[in-house]
Amino acid sequence: MIDLHIHSVFSDGHWTPEEIIADAQKKKLTDIAITDHDAIQGYQEAKKLAPSNLNLISGIELNTDGVYGELHILGYNFDPEHPSMLGHISWRSQERKDWGKKIVDRLNELGYTISFDKCLDRVGKGVLVRTHIAEELAAAGYFPNWKEAHQALLKKGKPGFVERSPFSAVNAIDLIHEAGGEAFLAHPGIYIKPFSLEELVAAGLDGIEVWHPKHSSADVEYWEKQAERFGMTVSGGSDFHGPVSRNPFPIGSVEIPEWAETAVKKLVTN
């Protein structure tokens, strides 16, 4: 059993790498990937803890924005010490802080008095994401919970939304390949804005995350066919962020067919 989409405290997950490894062992998983947003510290820490019977694959989820809106590209089996990958992670960490400060400044102008420093306090070991700002809006009493804050102010097209520095899905694919890895399109069934799979394939996309907890059976069937059409590898995972989070689906809870697991294992061990 495998799970190639898990988040830790080093991005916006709630569990430490140690807790993730322990849970994966308890459930007798064979292969996992910690795919934090724009960060690899979770993988690096977990690597020290993983037992010999659990294959820990280097992973990352790169957030991108471009002509097709926000797309997430999963990177697998890359060199975690590659200078280009480390340089990107360093740049993105600072860029997220600069971006977050602009969002908080805009919210202040709109009459939502929250502190950027308090938003940063919520980050802990991870990287700043809009969820942290939404949580601070809720804590300040402006909304009953972070989900309503995010929906009302922080989504694209809402008053508090701020565009990020350019980094496209094609850029992400190139970066993963430069670091020696494989690039997969994350949860394609949940994007609202249409995008061109053909262009991503032309850019070198290696695979598609077909099995995801927010994919319907129709989504799974459609994206499995698209992967077959373009000769791409398929993957899947829980996208676990924590038991009480925006993605509470447990590690190992997404069932992936045995034939797909075999194909993925061949890919990530070559």
Q: Which of residues 157 and 111 earns the better pLDDT score?
A: 111
pLDDT of residue 214: 96
Ranges of CATH 1.10.150 domains, the chain: 88-154
**Residues shown for the chain:** 270
**CATH (residue range 2-80+166-269):** 3.20.20.140
The predicted pLDDT at position 269 comes to: 59
Check residue 268 and give its pLDDT.
62
pLDDT, position 90: 94
Angle subtended at Cα 8 by Cα 148 and Cα 80, rounded to the nearest 5 degrees: 130
What average pLDDT does this structure show over 67-86? 93
> What whole-number percentage of the chain has pLDDT above 90?
78
CATH number for the domain formed by residue range(s) 88-154: 1.10.150
Please give the pLDDT value at position 267. 64
pLDDT, tens digit, 9 for 90 and up, residues 177-225: 999 999 999 999 999 889 999 999 999 999 999 999 999 999 999 999 9
Span(s) in the chain for CATH 3.20.20.140? 2-80+166-269
